Amino acid sequence: MTAAGTDPTGATKRSSRSTLPPTGAAPPTLDQALSTLLADHPTAVVAAIGEDGATVPVPPSVPVGDGHRVVDDTSTLELVVPADRVVIVRLFAETRHRGMVSAPVRPVDDEAGPVMVHMVDAREHHGVLVVVFGEPFDAAGEEMGRPAIAYLPPRLVRARKDPGAAYVWVDEAFTQLLGWAPDEVLGRRSLEFIHADDHETAIANWIEMLGEPGLNRRTRVRHRHRDGHWVWIEITNTNRLDDDDHQDVITEMVNISEEMAAHEALRQREQLLHQMAETVPLGLLQVDPLGQVLFTNGRLHEILGTRAAASLDELLDAVFDDDRPALDAAIDAALHGPGSADVELRVGTTDRPAVRYCSLRLRALPGDGGGAPTGVIGCLEDVTESVRMRRELEVQATYDPLTECRNRASTLTALATVMQTHHQRRGSGTAVAFVDLDRFKPVNDKLGHAAGDQLLAIVAQRLQDAVRDGDLVGRIGGDEFLVVCAHVRRPIDAMKIGRTLAARLTGDVRVVGKRTPLAASIGVAWSDDPEADPDLLMAAADAAMYESKRSGDHRPVLARAPFGMPAVRVAVED
């Protein structure tokens, strides 16, 4: 049996810059390695990491010098650029298995270039992992002024096996990587050291390789380290059994732990994102530039009442046809416009006919270097209750709850809008009719306020029935109403409206089961001046109403503009 460390193939060994101790020399302890690091980097940034990965105060037992910059209150992740934070995370995971690891990173506050960061497992004597940020390193991989300290296991291991997969020779790197001394593995089958979950893969690879001389086969498995942890390795077995000079299987094992750790970190991150996407109360979606659906979460389908779909059009089939143009415009804005768009949509399906209101926020996913978007992500929220509450508030702010007419504030706002908008048309003016009920107080006094409320509701309904489409009726207060009519050509036309209203408010009505006389005093005002003051127009109608009330004949009166009110035209009754 060939001695470990001697390559029986006769191949020339490649030189290496490894700073591992010479063959036969005892490797340095982690305490020695830490001391060497701190001595070789007297001005380095030093930090400590606890078991949970959080930055903790550097223990007094760590031999930091006066020139070291100790970081206690800042995460080590924040000391490097965002793209290199994954390196720190990987080093944290690897250090606890290997004892000490190093890697280049780019610090956030140093423009001199990358530095080598070293992480040492000092838990045995100091209770923490110690992080040392070295000096910038050159293209050769060495730190300026000194070799990079890297007590890292080698990445490539070579071994020989017999047809039964038993080790017959291992090189020095085998011990350095996996911890096993040669006499602990020689003669033992390699399957003994492979993780049980990887046995099937390893056996299939071995059998396939044995089936053809000269064939090599590659696979990835977990190999047990002497201290019990598992090392991910990529194994390449080459069949040399028919070679009279060798009659063995040559095995090369490459340490891929960092790569697999990165894959595992990515898998865990994707799993976390998936779990987050399924727990948020919002619908989430992602589509490519062609509208093909790449991702949706369950909440999206709950809101839409639809199943998974391949295209965005199919996915959003529940959107009302009337809202489709707004949806298409939002998608176009996200992909080809400013890159973002928000739109409110109505959705409903045959199975769920009740209308749901949804808020859809779309954001473009920018391409590399700010190029064309690679797609769109969307966030869908069911805002049905919010819309209902908003509309209820709008109704409360706009309408009188007793009569369902507009309230005073809404009526005055509408009057101003009508006068500003419709006076732009030639030959068109605005008429207002101020209505005040006659003998309303006796109704309240004799029959009660419930009877008075019923009478007000009857009056409001009769006014609504009497006006034209587009006219509005507002309750100004108490038993006073204001009717606003647009597109009234002449004062005489305004008076016709007043007479129609007076006719509808004359006669007897039944209130709380009793016949009650109904009558009203009505004042009418008209103007076609776009500069007219709405308040003055209403005041003129109010004044005319008092003239009608004084006359006692319940006939409407047309306002005559007093001094100081040139905006209200003097109208002549026909």
Which of the four pLDDT bands, split at 50, 70 and 90, describes residue 155? low
Residue 481 is which amino acid? F
Weakest mean pLDDT among 102-111, 138-147, 334-343: 138-147
Question: Could you tell me if residue 524 is inside a domain?
Answer: yes
Q: What is the pLDDT of residue 549?
A: 92
- Name residues whose C-beta falls within 8 Å of residue 424's C-beta, 6 or more positions apart in sequence: 530
Q: Is residue 535 situated within a structural domain?
A: yes
Report which of residues 425 and 228 the model is more confident about.
Answer: 228
Torsions phi, psi of 24, nearest 5? Answer: 90, -15
Per-residue confidence at 514, pLDDT binned at 50, 70, 90? Answer: confident
For the ranges 242-251, 347-356, 399-408, 544-553, which has the lowest average pLDDT?
347-356
Residue 22 has pLDDT above 60, yes or no: no
CA pair distance 264, 86, nearest whole angstrom: 12
pLDDT tens digits for range 70-91? 998 888 888 888 888 888 888 8
Structure tokens at 257: 């732990």
- d(Cα 304, Cα 61) in Å, to the nearest integer? 61
pLDDT tier at 8, thresholds 50, 70, 90: very low
Going by pLDDT thresholds of 50, 70 and 90, the confidence category of residue 362 is very high
Domain closes at, from 136, 169, 204: 136
Is 441 in the same domain as 547? yes
Within a domain: residue 243? yes
Q: Dihedral of CA 534/535/540/541: which sign?
A: positive
* CA–CA distances in Å: residue 455 to residues 313, 400, 441, 513, 537: 54, 15, 11, 12, 27
Residues 178-205 have a mean pLDDT of 94
- Residue 426's pLDDT is 63
Question: For the segment 468-480, what is each residue's pLDDT rounded down to a tens digit?
Answer: 998 999 999 999 9
The average pLDDT across 105-124 equals: 82
Chain segment 269-313, per-residue pLDDT in tens: 888 888 888 888 899 999 998 889 999 999 999 888 888 899 888
> Does 10 fall in a domain?
no
- Between 92 and 571, residue with greater pLDDT: 92
Is the same domain home to 120 and 176?
no
Confidence of residue 546 (pLDDT cuts 50, 70, 90): very high
Last residue of a domain, one of 207, 230, 260: 260
231 and 343 together in one domain = no
What is the rounded distance in angstroms from the CA atom of residue 384 to the CA atom of residue 387? 5
Determine the 3-state secondary structure of 527 from DSSP: strand
pLDDT of residue 360: 94
- Do 379 and 405 share a domain, yes or no? no
The 3-state secondary structure of 516-558 reads EEECEEEEEEEECCCCCCHHHHHHHHHHHHHHHHHHCCCCCEE
Percent residues over pLDDT 90 in the chain: 44
Measure Cα distances from 553 to 487, 502, 525 in Å. Answer: 29, 11, 19
Q: How confident is the model at residue 563 (pLDDT cuts 50, 70, 90)?
A: very low
**What is the Cα–Cα distance from 493 to 417, expressed in whole angstroms?**
21
Does residue 372 share a domain with residue 415? Answer: no
For residue 348, the domain's CATH number is 3.30.450.20
Q: Tell me if residue 152 falls in helix, strand or coil.
A: coil
Tell me the CA distances in angstroms from 81 to 48, 106, 142, 259, 569, one per residue in order: 19, 6, 21, 20, 75
Residue 51 burial (CB < 10 Å; 0-12/13-18/19+)? Answer: exposed
DSSP symbol at 564 = T
pLDDT at position 512: 85
Q: What is the pLDDT of residue 72?
A: 85
* pLDDT tens-digit map of 434-467: 999 998 988 888 888 899 999 999 999 999 999 9
C-alpha span between 574 and 565 (Å, rounded): 22
Q: How many domains does the chain have?
A: 4
Q: Are residues 261 and 252 in contact, defined by beta-carbon separation less than 8 angstroms?
A: no
Please determine, for residue 554, whether its predicted confidence score (pLDDT) is greater than 90: no
Q: Is residue 22 part of a domain?
A: no
pLDDT at 149: 41
Are 87 and 212 in the same domain?
no
Report the 3 state secondary structure along 318-343.
Answer: CECHHHHHHHHHHHHHHHHCCCEEEE
pLDDT digits (tens, 9 = 90+) for 411-435: 999 999 888 876 556 668 899 999 9
Measured between alpha carbons, how far is 526 from 34 in angstroms, rounded to an integer? 95
Residue finishing a domain among 387, 409, 435: 387
The tokens for 45 are 């940034």
What pLDDT does 170 receive? 93
Q: Which of 204-208, 258-262, 400-404, 454-458 has the lowest mean pLDDT?
A: 258-262
Domain of residue 477, residue span: 399-558
How high is the pLDDT of residue 475? 95
Query: Hey, is 571 helix, strand or coil?
Result: coil
Report the DSSP beta bridge partners of residue 236.
218, 252
Are residues 418 and 374 located together in one domain of the fold?
no
At residue 115 the predicted structure's pLDDT band, cuts being 50, 70 and 90, is: confident
Angle between helices 408-422 and 384-398 in degrees, nearest 10: 90
Determine the Cα–Cα distance for residues 546 and 523; give it in Å rounded to an integer. 7
Q: Residue 112: give its domain's CATH number.
A: 3.30.450
**Mean pLDDT for all residues in the chain:** 84
- % helix / strand / coil in the chain, to the nearest 5? 35, 30, 35
For 3, the token pair is 């001695």
State the distance between the two ends of the chain, measured CA to CA, in whole angstroms.
131
How does residue 380 score in pLDDT terms, banded at 50, 70 and 90? very high
Q: What is the pTM of this model?
A: 0.46
- Is 531 or 410 the better-scoring residue by pLDDT? 410
- CA–CA separation, 261 vs 226, rounded Å? 20
**Nearest-10 crossing angle of helices 449-466, 440-447:** 140
Give the pLDDT of residue 9.
38
Q: What is the pLDDT of residue 413?
A: 92
Indicate whether 393 belongs to any domain: no
Residues 164 and 115 in one domain: no
Q: Are residues 341 and 427 in the same domain?
A: no
pLDDT exceeds 70 at position 137: no
Band (264; pLDDT cuts 50, 70, 90): confident
Whether 569 is covered by a domain: the verdict is: no
pLDDT score for 2 = 38
pLDDT of residue 56: 93
* pLDDT (0 to 100) of residue 482: 97
Of 22-31, 412-421, 492-501, 555-564, highest mean pLDDT: 492-501
Looking at the structure, tell me whether residues 221 and 301 fall in a common domain.
no
> Is the per-residue pLDDT at 350 higher than 80?
no
- SS3 of residue 447 by DSSP: helix
- Domain contains 352: yes
CATH number at residue 551: 3.30.70.270
Q: Provide the pLDDT for residue 292.
A: 92
Q: Where are the alpha helices (DSSP H) in 423-448?
A: 440-447
My answer on whether 351 and 478 are in the same domain is no
Integer Cα distance of 26 and 432 in angstroms? 105
Task: State residue 572's pLDDT score.
Answer: 40
Nearest-angstrom CA–CA distance, 240 and 244: 8
179 plus 89 within the same structural domain: no
Q: b/e string for 81-100 if b means 16 or more Cβ within 10 A?
A: eeebbbbbbbbbbbbebbbb
